[in-house]
Amino acid sequence: MPLAQALDDLQTFLGERFSRSKPDLDAHAHSESYYAPAPPDGVAFPISTEEVSQIMKICAAHRVPVTGWGAGTSLEAQAQPICGGVVVDFTRMNRVLDIRGDDMDVTVQPGVTREALNTELRATGLFFPVDPGANASIGGMAMTRASGTTTVRYGTMRDNVLGFEAVLADGQVIRTGTRARKSSAGYDLTALLVGSEGTLALVTEITLRLHPIPESISAGICAFDDIGSATAAVMETIQMGLPMARIEFVCADSARAFNAYAGTDMPETPHLLVEFHGSPSGTAEVAQQFAEIVADHGSTGFEWSSHTEERNALWAIRHNAFYAILALKPKARAVVTDICVPISQLARAVEETRQDIHASGLMGPIVGHVGDGNFHAALLIDPDDAAQLATAKALSAAMAERALRLGGTCTGEHGVGLGKKAFMPAEHGGAWAVMGQVKKALDPHNLLNPGKLVSDDTY
């Protein structure tokens, strides 16, 4: 059989770095969200581009599906091998290959994590700013067009990836982009691959834009009586053009989760968590302007600090929001969803979502990178209760439909995977079929991460 022959060929080629053991298959069967496990038939652990190319050639010869794997932190089942086949696990391709301080760029392998990269960069005075919260791999972040807490200042992965080395479905190795800051030379294949979720190629090297570490960083937190006041303050802050580095929203239930999980003493009301980057005088000035805006919207207790330990403690709380929220309901699973709307529609979108969740009877704390108009709901369900799952999916669908109605998108940063495919026709119209045509041109046998992102009618 073709699958069995491919697995044998990969075992011969990679030796102990190809696994068919049940623990390894199970470890690559799941995502961070509620989707049912989908184990592969084998897991490859390459250490070079040449090995990835050969893996792909073997799988192409036998028409075996291939799914890339980074840190496994995806929320829409992007890395789950729902058609079986081979998972290519990039965790051993985790080297920082070349730091070029004068040009403020770096080339890395896809398995490097965000935190490991910034640790490597510490002595250079530079850092990589995209921060989705999870310690995701750079390859996974590129493939999902990740963003996060610092996007309001530094942009998404789309803005910070300069080029790729990538392996196509037939094993061919290509390079996209250059280290120049701009180009007019043909189709932008780098931008095409960013956000492609491993459906067009397996990325083996990534060249990234770096940024100077700010001279001064300060962070603050303030509470509000209600969601409307908090989101109105965000809208005015962005419309006034304040240079925010982070501006994060958490609802009252999220604050309660933080208190229980991390031992904090936040008032159990909506909050904004903010950060300012610049010179010492500049961050102080922006903090003062922000304090005046939020005071006008009824905030209480705005406190800010430039002390590293206090800043790190604040963002550790925010980055652990998912686990804190899960702890509100032991043994629960979360249907985690996100939308993004124009900033002028943020207050309406958040408030209508909150009302829907309250009416549903589910617990669904809301957090968000609201400086971008992007927010998330973690809908807690009993994994054995089909009715609760159906309710959560209906809430997620209502959020997506609301976002589209308000001029936004069904996902600001989680990606499409399986969970958001149903909303792609409404968001893109005929352009979704064009995406399928691109996929079919580059992957005529539907080997790369099949079942994700594009229509099932593509093939």
* Residue given tokens 């011969």 in the structure block: 12
Identify whether residues 131 and 80 lie together within a single domain.
Answer: no
Cβ neighbours for 258, distance < 8 A, ≥ 6 positions apart: 250, 264, 266, 317, 321, 324
Single out the residue in 256, 291, 322 at which a domain terminates. Answer: 322
Residue 415's region, left for phi above 0, alpha for psi from -120 to 50, else beta, is left
d(CA 429, CA 389): 28
Q: How many CA atoms lie within 13 A of 112 on its CB side?
A: 26
Q: What is the mean pLDDT of the chain?
A: 95
Asked if the structure places residue 457 within a domain, the reply is no
Distance CA 223, CA 244 (A): 18
Question: Which two tokens mark 262?
Answer: 């991390």
In a domain, 393, yes or no: yes
- Please report, for the domain that includes residue 131, its CATH number: 3.30.465.10
Question: What single DSSP character describes residue 95?
Answer: -
Same structural domain, 267 and 361: no
- In this structure, are 308 and 233 located in the same domain? yes
User: Over the stretch 85-143, which tens digit does the pLDDT of each residue have?
Assistant: 999 999 999 999 999 999 999 999 999 999 999 999 999 999 999 999 889 999 999 99
447 within domain boundaries: no
Lookup: tokens for 429: 């119209």
The three-class DSSP label of residue 450 is coil
Q: Tokens 């492609």 label which residue? A: 196
**Residue 24: Cβ within 10 Å count:** 18
Whether 452 is covered by a domain: the verdict is no
Give a yes or no: residue 422 inside a domain: no
458 lies in some domain: no
- pTM for the complete prediction? 0.94
**Do the Cβ atoms of 78 and 68 come closer than 8 Å?**
no
Place of tokens 């799988």: 59
245 shares its domain with 290: yes
Q: Are residues 186 and 173 in the same domain?
A: yes
Same domain, 77 and 159: no
Domain boundary residue among 36, 64, 91?
91
Asked whether 421 and 402 are in contact (CB, 8 A), the reply is no
Number of domains in the chain: 4
Residue 76, in any domain of the structure: yes
For residue 13, what are the domain limits?
A: 2-91
**Inter-axis angle of helices 308-319 and 252-262, nearest 10:** 110
Domain end position, chosen among 212, 237, 254: 212
Query: How confident is the model over 251-293, as pLDDT tens digits?
Result: 999 999 999 999 988 999 999 999 999 999 999 999 999 999 9
Domain CATH number, residue 337: 3.30.70.2740
293 with 361, same domain? no
| Helix/strand/coil percent split, the chain, to 5 | 40, 20, 35
| Structural domain contains residue 366 | yes
